[in-house]
Amino acid sequence: MRRYRNPNKDIWQGRVSNKFLYLHEKVRCVPLNEISEPSKKSITLLGYACDEGVKRNEGRIGAVKSPEIVKSSLGKFPNHLASTVVLQDAGAITCEDGNMEETQAKLSTAIYTLLEKKQFPIILGGGHDMAYGHYHGIKNFLDSEKSKQTIGIINFDAHFDLRQNTNGNNSGTPFYQIASESKKQDVPFNYLCLGIRKDANDRILFQTAKELNVTYILSDTFQMQFLDEINTWIDAFIKNVDKVYVTIDLDGFSSAYAPGVSAPSPMGFTPQIVLECLKTIISSGKLISLDIAEMNPKFDIDDQTAKLAASLVHYIMHTIY
């Protein structure tokens, strides 16, 4: 299958218990075209092995290698999922020729397929350009049901990723692209950013966010001591949408926690505040799909960022089901 790589069973290794105590013992490797509607609750991991958008955005390339590394780290984690929950690895969407747009379209089709098969998708990237394909996969699925359900995007990130795409698409343009298309289609653009840094976004980006009615919480407020206020903002945002798509950009975390990213900074947020917010989002019952972006193993230290990404996935899986 073009722009696709089958799951690699060899990356799922760890301590052997023969009692499904670890996730590498729990996971099933199933090619994307063999995914079927489960009789049980099911989570499917899918990689987005592409950092062409990061390259175009003049960032540090290397995120293309991250999906399998995050999965490998996750496999060593303990399994607390019920026997009634299925965990699958469906391989990765790939970009070998620099055609990011076709890769995004392939991801969109994959997301549609997973949702149609009643999976909960967790996508591991790869550059944040995957958000464009991911969103459209969700939208196409909801449109196919003729339900006219609205989508709310919640982005944990230091950056708005609202750069105009006049000179082409990249990892900094996905939400501007979505906003522009939403306007043309006369559908609402519901976008909440958590952890935005003033030192990571120029004034044009702040102006764009204002013009697009983007809701955001700055990094100096996105801290544990303001959790109640933050949850009030999240609850208000979720109340106005039917489904929620969450995207977590690892470069939003402080480099103390995530050194292996495309655009690191010591001024980012902590894992604790993200976990608390995820708990609020998941408890709403509206979360439909999620991705984790910008893990760059080329610059990781002692697999710290890979372990952070794996810990987030571990938490999400065990909180959803």
Q: Is 89 annotated as a binding residue?
A: no
Looking at residue 147, its pLDDT comes to 74
Q: What is the pTM of this model?
A: 0.97
Amino acid at 264: P
Looking at residue 27, its pLDDT comes to 98
Q: Is 161 annotated as a binding residue?
A: yes
Contact 53, 170 (CB under 8 A): yes
Bridge partners, residue 119, by sequence:
none
Q: How far apart are CA 40 and CA 285, in angstroms?
A: 18
DSSP states along 206-225: HHHHHHTT-EEEETTTSSGG
Amino acid at 128: H
Q: Is 314 annotated as a binding residue?
A: no
Q: Is 300 annotated as a binding residue?
A: no
Each residue's pLDDT, cut to its tens digit, for the chain (321 residues) gives 789 999 999 999 999 999 999 999 999 999 999 999 988 899 999 999 999 999 999 999 999 999 999 999 999 999 999 999 999 999 999 999 999 999 999 999 999 999 999 999 999 999 999 999 999 999 999 999 877 899 999 999 999 999 999 999 999 999 999 999 999 999 999 999 999 999 999 999 999 999 999 999 999 999 999 999 999 999 999 999 999 999 999 999 999 999 999 899 999 999 999 999 999 999 999 999 999 999 999 999 999 999 999 999 999 999 999
Looking at residue 46, its pLDDT comes to 98
Q: Is 157 annotated as a binding residue?
A: yes
Looking at residue 109, its pLDDT comes to 98
Using CA atoms of 107, 251, 312, 247 in order, give the dihedral in degrees to the nearest 10.
-40
Distance of CA 219 to the CA centre of its chain: 19
CATH no., domain 4-320:
3.40.800.10
Domain boundaries, the chain: 4-320
Q: Is 97 annotated as a binding residue?
A: no
Fill in the DSSP letter of residue 97. Answer: S
